[in-house]
Amino acid sequence: MADARNPVEIAEYDPAWPADYEREAALIVAALGDLLLEIEHVGSTAVPGLGAKPVIDIMAGVRAFADGERCVAPLEALGYLYKGEADVPGRHYFRKPLDGPASYHIHMAELGGDFWRRHLLFRDYLRAHPDAARDYYELKLRLAEEHRLDRLAYTEAKTGFIESALAEAVRGA
């Protein structure tokens, strides 16, 4: 679906992204207390040198998926908009700010579940394989050009690369 208000734009790696994550993670940890078991910086902004959409992806691990419902009010108090599973079963999705382009996404899932494991495996694979990270960046630049006004098509077009990298990571583990 075309959306001229929110085009896909890939920025060069910004060394400030890890610090941005750390500041936001501290707020989330304080707001969620014992509901949060673990928090991780995921996505392309978590891979040194990898260009990305300038959105910090945060993965928040909870004991059980149902615990995510108890996290909605504290995260809304931090300025997050709760979007439910947002077409990804097993994940609670939050974005900040409420309007305009997002700066932060929270992907809340059961700690150790499939969603959790796959995201960490992909991030760690790209961190350990700079050539693969470079190939992924080049793919993202090309796809952002091709699907500039269609975020869903952009995301879906990356699936083949991601699945291949995950399979490679599993074989290497």
State pLDDT tens for residues 56-75.
Answer: 999 999 999 999 999 999 99
The SS3 assignment for 40 reads strand
User: Is the per-residue pLDDT at 3 higher than 60?
Assistant: no
Residue 100 confidence class, pLDDT cut points 50, 70, 90: low
Q: Which residues pair with 39 in a beta bridge?
A: 60
Predicted local confidence at residue 169, as pLDDT: 95
pLDDT above 90 as % of the chain: 90
Predicted local confidence at residue 116, as pLDDT: 96
Distance CA 156, CA 166 (A): 16
State pLDDT tens for residues 145-168.
Answer: 999 999 899 999 999 999 999 999
Domains of the chain with bracketed CATH: 17-172 (3.30.460.10)
